[in-house]
Amino acid sequence: MKPVSKLLLLSLLFVLPGVFAQTPQAIPDPPAVAAKGYLLIDFNSGQILAEKNADERLEPASLTKIMTGYVVFRELAAGKIALGDQVLISERAWRTGGSKMFVEVGKQVSIQDLLMGMIVQSGNDASVALAEHVAGSVEAFADLMNANAQRLGMTNSHFTNPHGLPDPELYITARDIALVAMAIVREFPEFYGWYSTREFTFNEITQHNRNPLLRRDESADGIKTGYTQAAGYCLVSSAKRNDMRLISVVMGSPTPNARADASLALMNYGFRYYESHLLYPADEPVESFRVWKGDQEWLPVGPVSDVFATFPRGRYAELAARLEKAEANLTAPIASGTPVGEVIVTFDGAEINRLPLIGLAGIEKGNLWQIARDSVLGLFQSQ
């Protein structure tokens, strides 16, 4: 195998020409914000930049609707429902308390309007109508929410309804809700744009998006506010500046202004003191691994998804990468897409990212001569 570490380090140097001209700076502690729990994460790399009580179970209020939206988007993507489908509004949906888009019992409303009513107007009535249409009942829809939460790795969350009104068995963590927020941005860009809609009119009633960052930060484009007396004021926000996107989760702030100030302070901290870069695109070769007893000797390998690194500004020199093979000797046949190792990114000697490496081509079993030759070479290699 070729000398991997030298190859990778040299390729990193060419990703960001001139980066060494920056002067390293000390990273201050994250800002002190008024919240029971918070999390600041880089969307591309998954690197946590700041957190407090991120794994504490807290009441989500209307942050619950982020998961509701995700479940509905998956149903749309699977072709099980369509945006134009008409939903008959039940008495249960109409009677649901809290924030409303003001649907009327017995009327029909499109799924698209209900989604806009939930996303922009935070309509609890819209959330119930969507849940009943997708799953038949609120309770069955909650089962879908929990199944998707488990699939996304939200191990400390549990859902009982689609709107977030208080329930003893309804809870999330800041870390978990960030996972589903990032999943929406990543999986459903065609729907994510709705989260930056400033206002929506339904039934001749115009309501404005409750997200204050849409008015205070031009780079912000989502995602959702929440409030109940028990949960306090909550906000999951997302912003993109240049090629860097950050997600912040603020839960349990004492006032609406406090949650907005906390979210903006965390965003400004992350963008000011950190940078994020694509190191290796998905499905592009970064090295070739020797394969034994195959019709080809070398297998091009690359990451299964884009490899990003997020690190303090001006400290690129402390970034390094290496490859690790899954097995000492790879033996044919190997199908294209087979995991064959990992790419590991470190900063200042500490691991910050790790992604699977896959074979970018298929190698068939060799002929008798190729197998015999490699068997002999293998004997010498093992001595």
Sequence ranges of the binding site for substrate: 224
Of 73, 101, 338, nearest in space to 201 by CA: 101
CB 330 within 8 A of CB 289: yes
Q: How far apart are CA 141 and CA 138, in angstroms?
A: 5
Q: What is the sign, positive or negative, of the torsion defined by CA atoms of 157, 101, 113, 252?
A: negative
Q: How far apart are CA 60 and CA 57, in angstroms?
A: 9
Count how many Cα atoms sit within 13 Å of the Cα of residue 249 in the half-sphere of its side chain.
Answer: 33
Active-site annotation, residues: 62, 65, 122
- DSSP string covering 139-207: HHHHHHHHHHHHHHT-TT-B-S-SS----TT-BB-HHHHHHHHHHHHHH-HHHHGGGG--EEEETTEEE
Tokens coding 102 = 């003001």
Count how many Cα atoms sit within 13 Å of the Cα of residue 151 in the half-sphere of its side chain.
Answer: 12
Q: How far apart are CA 20 and CA 23, in angstroms?
A: 8
